[in-house]
Amino acid sequence: MKRRIIKQGHNTLTMTLPTEWTKKFNLKAGSEIDLVEKENGLFITTEKIGEEKRVEFDISEMDIPTIWKYFMGVYREGYDEVLIKFNQDQLDSPYKFFTQHKLDLRYGKKREKGTILEALQGFVNRFIGFEIIEHGKNYIIVREMGELTSKEFDNSLRKIFLILQEMSEETLEAIKTNNPKILMHIHDVDVNLDKFHDYCIRILNKTANKTQRKSQLLFSTLYLLELVGDEFKNISSHLVKDFPKVKLGNILELAEVVKEQFDVYYDLFYKFDKDKIKKLSEIDSKTYFKVSTIYKKATEHEKEIYHHLRIIGRYINALLELRIEMEY
C-alpha cells in the first residue's frame, strides 16, 4: 500500500497509518509503536524491540523427536524464558532416536530411562546459553543466561567451519586407513556443530540487522553448513555400523577432492578472492569428468559413500553462490 508524505512545520515529515491496521492492534493517538531500520526501508511494529519474550508448551503427550522440535523452535526464535509443563515422572534419553543411541547399543552401552528432570536437563544442555532456573513437580522454567552479540555470532560461525574441517579430515583418514573406529565420536562432534548452528540462528533472530538481505544469506548458509555436517555423520554411520571392514580405495580420490573443496571454500568465506573462486570451479570441473569412472569402479558399499560425498560437493557449490552474493 502507498502513503503520501505530509510536511508539518519546517523540518517534520509525517504519514498516515492504515485504519484497519490501527483498529486491529487497538492503536490510538498517543499509542507507541516501534520502527526498525532495514536495508531499504523502515519496518513498523507494535512489539517493543528489546522486550523479553516468554512462551510455554506442554510435553506430556509428546515423543522425544517432537520435544526436540519444540525446544529447537523456541530456542531459534529467540525466546528469553520458556515454561515447560509435563505430567510424567520418567522420560527416555533425549538421544534415544539418534545415531549415538544406535552406536551405544552396538557397542554394549545402555541408556536407561531417567527422571523427567534428568531428561529435560539433557535437552537444555544441548542449547548454548539456556539454563534451568526453576523446577517444580510438573514444570521447569528455562532461561537464557548471557547476552547475544554480533561477536558471539562471528565466533560461533567460525567454530562451525572448524568442526566441519575436523569432520572432513577424520572421514578422509578413515577411508584412507580403512579404520572406521576413528569416526566413533563423530556424533558428538555433530552435536557440537548443531549447537553452534542453532546459536547462530538464535542470534540472527534476536538482533536487529539493518542489512536484511545479508541476514537472509547467512540463514541459508547456516542451513547448508548443517546439511554438510549431516552428510559426514551419515558417512561415519555407514562406515562404523553397516560395513566396518569394507575397503574404500575406489572413492578415496573423491573424498580427497571434497576435503579440498571445503578447505578452499572456508578460506574464501573469510577472505573473498576471485582466484579461490576460480580454483573451486577448476576442482569441480575436473571432478565432474571423473565421477562416472569412479562410480563404475566402485563397489555397492562404496557407491553409498560416493552418494554422500557427491551431495557434499553440491552443497559446497551452493554455499559458494551464496558467498558471492554476500559480496555484492
* CA atoms of 85 and 77, how far apart (whole Å): 19
In this structure, how many other beta carbons lie within 10 angstroms of the beta carbon of residue 2? 4
Co-location of 204 and 249 in the same domain: yes
Co-location of 23 and 123 in the same domain: no
- Domain boundary among the residues 125, 144, 163 is at 144
Residue 234 domain boundaries: 150-327
Co-location of 76 and 24 in the same domain: no
Q: Give pLDDT tens digits along the chain (328 positions).
A: 777 888 887 778 888 888 887 887 788 888 877 776 655 567 677 655 556 889 999 999 898 889 999 999 999 999 999 999 999 888 877 766 555 545 554 545 555 567 889 889 989 999 999 999 999 999 999 999 988 888 899 999 999 999 999 999 999 999 999 999 999 888 889 999 999 999 999 999 887 555 677 889 999 999 999 999 999 999 998 998 888 888 889 999 999 999 999 999 999 999 999 999 999 999 988 888 888 899 999 999 999 999 999 999 999 999 999 999 998 8
* CA atoms of 241 and 180, how far apart (whole Å): 9
Question: Do the domain assignments include residue 1?
Answer: no
Block residue for cell numbers 519474550: 53
Co-location of 222 and 160 in the same domain: yes
* CA atoms of 51 and 48, how far apart (whole Å): 6
In CATH, what number is assigned to the domain containing residue 313? 1.20.58.220
Co-location of 194 and 311 in the same domain: yes
- Domain boundary among the residues 144, 171, 205 is at 144
Co-location of 206 and 92 in the same domain: no
Co-location of 240 and 320 in the same domain: yes
Co-location of 77 and 207 in the same domain: no
Co-location of 224 and 111 in the same domain: no
In CATH, what number is assigned to the domain containing residue 134? 3.30.110
Co-location of 77 and 194 in the same domain: no
Co-location of 236 and 168 in the same domain: yes
Question: Do the domain assignments include residue 268?
Answer: yes
- Domain boundary among the residues 144, 171, 202 is at 144
* CA atoms of 243 and 247, how far apart (whole Å): 9
In this structure, how many other beta carbons lie within 10 angstroms of the beta carbon of residue 264? 18
Co-location of 97 and 40 in the same domain: no
Structural domain count, the chain: 3
